[in-house]
Homo-oligomer: A and B are copies of this chain.
Amino acid sequence: METSIVTRRTIRKYKQEDIPAEKLDAMLYQASRAATMGNMQLYSVVVTRSAEMKEKLSPLHFNQPMVKGAPVVLTFCADFNRFTKWCELRNAQPGYDNVLSWLNAVSDTLLYVQAFCSLAEAAGYGTCYLGTTLYNPQGIIDLLKLPKLTFPVATITVGVPDECPEQPDRLPHLAYIHEETYQDYTPNQLDIIYYLKEQLEENQKFVEVNKKENLAQVFTDCRYTKKDNEAMSEGLLAALKAQGFLR
């Protein structure tokens, strides 16, 4: 079933059905029409199909079952290595071992990721975005043998959908659209913006199961805690240094 962005949902269960290499390559090529800084295309994609590599990738993504369950796992990497090596080969002096260049490459990569996902979904595939890529970049760097001046940014599992979950809620658009300047949020506005989310039965269940007072506490105390975020921020900065993007 074709999916456009309007009807999309994350797909976590896939049929036992491969994606032909030519089809995948074609989508990975077409996605390159997304905007890219100075037409430098500052990204690479590592394609994982082998059971052995999925086995090794899995714990780096906290054993989320999509890694082993999908026919294809794609690790999208910010890449200034290729461009820098080309400059060196041409007796040009590259200067891309810095934070701005890293963020330029991250930007190129994420636009490319979304362009790819839209194409894959339009072709009837389902995708899942694994945010865990940023939680343990060094492990992924080591496993995929990512050289200096590259950095893993996003992992996408892709396959033929074997489920059709409900679309999740989204905030009302006025929650994030600001006219001319940013209008900061009053308590009353926040109550309205998060009202629907807080009322959802499944979210109320999360609050109950986790013995919290409200949904916000589920996020701060269980899902995305200060302690974890700070520890993983250290790992992120260390990996950025190891990959040559930060002094």
Question: Which A residues contact B (CB, under 8 angstroms)?
Answer: 5-8, 10, 25, 28-35, 37-41, 43-50, 53, 77, 79, 81-83, 85-87, 89-96, 98-101, 103-104, 106-107, 110-111, 113-115, 117-119, 127-129, 131, 134-135, 143-147, 150, 153-154, 167-171, 173, 175-182, 184-185, 187, 190-191, 193-194, 197, 213-217, 219-221, 223-230, 232-233, 236-237
Contact = CB atoms under 8 A, between A and B. Distances in A.
Contact of A94 (B32, B135, B179, B220): B220
Contact of A146 (B34, B144, B182): B182
Contact of A176 (B30, B45, B228): B45
Contacts of A103: 106, 134, 236
A167 to B, nearest CB: 8
Contacts of A194: 86
Given A41-B175, A53-B181, A147-B184, 12 more contacts: A5-B31, A5-B119, A8-B33, A28-B177, A38-B131, A41-B170, A44-B177, A90-B214, A93-B220, A99-B237, A101-B229, A113-B114
Contact of A100 (B33, B110, B115, B229): B229
Instruction: Indicate the member of A83, A129, A144, A178 with the most B CB atoms within 10 Å.
Output: A178
